[in-house]
A and B are shown apart, each in its own frame.
Chain A
Amino acid sequence: MSARREFIGALLSGAALAPWSQLSLAGQARGNEPRLALIVLRGGLDGLTAVPLPRDEQFVAARGALAQLPSPALPLDGPYALHPALAEMHTLYGRGELLVVHATGLPYRERSHFDAQQLLESGGARPHELTSGWLGRALAANGRKGMALQTAVPLVLRGPGDIDTWAPSVLPEPSVDLVARVERMYGSDPMLAQALARARALRSDSAMAEAAPMVGGAGAGAPRAQAIALARRAGDFLSAADGPQAAVLELGGWDSHANQAQPQGALTNNLKLLDSMVASLRDALQGQHDTWSRTVVLVVTEFGREVAVNGTQGTDHGTGGAAFVLGGAVRGGRVLADWPGLAPRDRFEGRDLRITTDLRALFKSVLHDHLRVARSALDGTVLPGTSALKTLDLLRA
């Protein structure tokens, strides 16, 4: 109990946790240690928006207006494309440094953010079966440090080993999405509702999205510039000689229940932000000792979204979705997908993109082939119950 209290205290105390502040960012990188960055997209990225199939009849039929993008999708191999907001990532694809994985997901079918994120991070087969994180356990098996670019240690990094966190510390601006949810909650409380509505009117949405140079963690709706700066910071940390073997970033606000195709809407903006974060991370890693060449970046979310459009020009919680594997160490320029099809009869429960690639196979392949976690540890403590999962061929030879 007391350890937990201390922990929460550190969380709430307002002190910036900056254990790396004495770290020399300019230090000589040690040999050719591999590096991993994990970007967790919270809220359920719509894989069919990020990686659409513009000429697929079923896609066009199911998505209707949502299939109409503001500018043409960026072509990938086969029927696939990238959302036009992902221009930097498309460049990486062209250079053979981005691998797109589609129709992927977790061994979980219930569509709850909480439980799905618990599995995404714990690496278990059932929610709350495991209480630490797959990456935390893997780093402990390697005897290496991990780092979270936020104040709290996310579940995925929790485990027996050393985890550090770094985040600037000033009160964060609530995201537009959060404010909307609080407003819905105040439907029956006119006093609170009115005060909040006035407060919101006093701060234009553009002001909220403006970059404050030093604002809290890159959680849901954190200002753009800060999220991009955190990605650069992650690259700096990973490039350091005594830096972490893995760093975790997160980006929230993907729960696109309404109006998700708007050119200036939350989903489009979030895709642009992800693209900028990836570019920022790449620039930082390329700038120092060419860390980029020995880095894998994993971009994952807890679930995809329903194939059909809902009643508010958005999509509800679904099952299969998209993930990205990128970096100098990746054999990219490919789409990895055992495409299940989008016809209603091909969907999971008639509604969702079916999962044909277990996301844990992705984790397992990166941990084994890139971070060189021993097979025994992988099948034992790191991703228990996955010995039957085949690893995927993700890396350059």
Chain B
Amino acid sequence: MATATVQAAIAAHRFGLGEPDLAAIGSDPQGWLLQQIGPADAQRGDALPTAADGLRRHDAYLRALRQRNTVAAGEAMADAKPFEQRFAEHFRELVQADQTARLTTAATTARPFAERLALFWANHFTVSSVKGAARGLVGAFEREAVRPFIAGPFEQLLTASTQHATMLRYLDNALSAGPNSRFVTRLARQQAEGVTPRISGLNENLAREVLELHTLGVDGGYTQADVTAFAAVLTGWRAPRLPRGDEASFFDAAWHEPGVKTVLGKRYREGPQALGEVLHDLCVHPSTARFIATKLARHFVADEPPAPLVDRLARTFRDSAGHLPALYTELVKAPEAWQPETAKLKTPEEFVISTARMLRGGDSMFTRGRDAGIGALGQPVQRAPSPAGWPDRAEEWLGPDAVWKRLEWATRVGERAGRQVDARALAASALGPRLSDSSARQIERATDGPQALTLLLMAPEFQRR
């Protein structure tokens, strides 16, 4: 096992988001991590939007659109902005509030390991404002479905995610209805009168992704029939643009497919309880234990995680019925996690946040809706390109242009902050014994403060964790 200072550096960078001074971690780095296990901090920010707020914003948009279309029918459109631009402007305030809350919390939290776990799970259960239906709702998902539940049973987290308005809209369950539901039957009668119904049956998107991305994994042992049956179970879980009071999502029996469904060989009665039962059974499935164990180990330890570690985490998952703190404890105590070699490359977001923390910039890099360049580095905040979330392997982030952009970004930070800090001292205090002689020498020999800070940010020890 590495020395205490090496351990402190590993705790700070591999498990956390970087610290300006490793001394803050103290003599017991494992203890420093273990005592952080718990629900994530409340995000920073006043009156952050709820999912209900986001839905009301969608409602206002559609009303305005209808009114504009009515007016526009009679006269030339004065407001000829493209649809996407108008839509973006309508939601900008919410989107910026969410982004600022996420980034400033990560940049300032005293519990960076808990924050890393929150970011990990938010990526595991990806929702993205790339999709219009989820616009303005992504932060609410993080706050309402992820952050409170990262240190309980996995089942609770999975349930909160699956039933949340943002997930229901992002993966189209809000449009999915039982083909034999009362709602679809009613629409079908209208069709007889010549109106094409908006909705006529299932949308399998959420069902498939819960199985493939959230629980069993793509090779986890399910079939297309399981996907379809699970989609039928999910019908009725709605998140329309008019919340019921403050409930952004709810079960609507009129949309639910009647009858018994069979998922993975087990029969589930019709009704809202079926979703919870399926999710429970997915959580105790061995494929889920292995899938979650692999993702967790990959995120914190290595792109190709050591098999014995994955085995132990999977066993812990099964033995504890998916009790997440037990997994985190196993991970923190795993010798494989304390190898001094830095196996993982930081994502752009981790790179920028850890820079903010190292420079003690507080939340100032991210005020007023700014992402400090994370998007330019290739990882637009809360805008993952697909439900699979952001990749967790270095090769995905190591394109030449990506590395060049990191260098450009680091050059800019160097120019702007390099005269206020002593990069040599910062390198020593933030990286400790992990700072290689080679990097220390380049930083030492830099021609000036900005170049030294740029080199520190680009050092392999800072790019990796």
Q: Do A and B come from one complex?
A: yes
B77-103 interface code vs A (CB 8 A; 1 in, 0 out): 000000000000000000000000000
CA distance A161 to B364 in the complex (A): 24
Neighbour of B401 across the interface among A42, A117, A171, A199, CB < 8 A = A199
State which of B46-54, B116-124, B294-302, B440-448 sits at the interface with chain A. Answer: B440-448
Indicate whether A182 sits within 8 Å of B361 (C-beta atoms), given known contacts A152-B416, A188-B436: no
A26 at the interface (CB under 8 A from B): no
B42 at the interface (CB under 8 A from A): no
Indicate whether A114 sits within 8 Å of B452 (C-beta atoms), given known contacts A12-B365, A186-B460, A252-B447: yes
Q: Is the CB of A7 within 8 A of B367?
A: no
Q: Is the CB of B458 within 8 A of A202?
A: no
Q: Is the CB of A11 within 8 A of B416?
A: yes
Give the B interface residue count (CB, 8 A): 59
Indicate whether A216 sits within 8 Å of B415 (C-beta atoms), given known contacts A6-B364, A8-B364: yes
Q: Smallest CB-CB separation from A5: which chain B residue?
A: B362
Q: Is the CB of B403 within 8 A of A178?
A: no
Q: Is the CB of A9 within 8 A of B367?
A: yes
Q: Is the CB of A150 within 8 A of B438?
A: no
CA distance A87 to B159 in the complex (A): 75
The dominant DSSP class at the B interface is: helix
**A–B pairs, 18, beta carbons within 8 Å:** A9-B367, A11-B416, A12-B359, A12-B361, A13-B370, A42-B447, A114-B448, A151-B415, A152-B417, A171-B411, A174-B408, A174-B454, A184-B442, A188-B438, A191-B398, A199-B401, A217-B415, A255-B447
Q: Which residues in window 348-393 of A have CB below 8 A to B?
A: none
Q: Is the CB of B403 within 8 A of A199?
A: yes
Q: Is the CB of B438 within 8 A of A195?
A: no
Closest 5 pairs (CB-CB, A-B): A9-B364, A199-B400, A11-B416, A43-B447, A199-B404
Q: Is the CB of B400 within 8 A of A195?
A: yes
A196 at the interface (CB under 8 A from B): yes
Residues of B within 8 A of A10 (CB): 364
Residues of B within 8 A of A113 (CB): 445-448
Q: Smallest CB-CB separation from B399: which chain A residue?
A: A195
Min C-beta distance of B435 to chain A, whole Å: 11
A267 at the interface (CB under 8 A from B): no
Pick from A5, A181, A185, A217 the residue with the most CB of B within 10 Å: A185
Q: Is the CB of B409 within 8 A of A171?
A: yes
CA distance A181 to B457 in the complex (A): 13
Q: Smallest CB-CB separation from A179: which chain B residue?
A: B407
Q: Is the CB of B449 within 8 A of A151?
A: no
A345 at the interface (CB under 8 A from B): no
The dominant DSSP class at the A interface is: helix
Q: Smallest CB-CB separation from A128: which chain B residue?
A: B422
Indicate whether A219 sits within 8 Å of B415 (C-beta atoms), given known contacts A171-B373, A188-B436, A192-B463: yes
Q: Is the CB of A171 within 8 A of B402?
A: no
CA distance A94 to B459 in the complex (A): 48
Neighbour of A185 across the interface among B360, B398, B438, CB < 8 A = B438
CA distance A273 to B460 in the complex (A): 33
Indicate whether A195 sits within 8 Å of B364 (C-beta atoms), given known contacts A13-B370, A13-B372, A43-B448: no
Q: Is the CB of A150 within 8 A of B364?
A: no
Q: Is the CB of B442 within 8 A of A152?
A: no
B2 at the interface (CB under 8 A from A): no
Neighbour of A9 across the interface among B362, B412, B447, B458, CB < 8 A = B362
Q: Which residues in window 363-379 of B have CB below 8 A to A?
A: 363-365, 367-368, 370, 372-373, 376
Q: How large is the interface on A (under 10, 10 to 19, 20 to 34, 35 or more residues)?
A: 35 or more
Give 9 A-B pairs besides A185-B438, A195-B400 with Cβ atoms closer than 8 angstroms: A6-B364, A12-B413, A151-B416, A152-B415, A173-B411, A188-B438, A202-B400, A216-B411, A253-B447
Q: Is the CB of A171 within 8 A of B412?
A: yes
B419 at the interface (CB under 8 A from A): yes
Neighbour of B459 across the interface among A153, A185, A253, A255, CB < 8 A = A185
Q: Is the CB of A178 within 8 A of B411?
A: yes
B190-222 interface code vs A (CB 8 A; 1 in, 0 out): 000000000000000000000000000000000
Residues of B within 8 A of A42 (CB): 447-448
CA distance A42 to B414 in the complex (A): 14
B17 at the interface (CB under 8 A from A): no
Q: Is the CB of B446 within 8 A of A13?
A: no
CA distance A202 to B400 in the complex (A): 9
Q: Is the CB of B364 within 8 A of A5?
A: yes
B270-308 interface code vs A (CB 8 A; 1 in, 0 out): 000000000000000000000000000000000000000
Q: Smallest CB-CB separation from B417: which chain A residue?
A: A11
Q: Is the CB of B364 within 8 A of A12?
A: yes
Min C-beta distance of A152 to chain B, whole Å: 5
Min C-beta distance of A115 to chain B, whole Å: 10
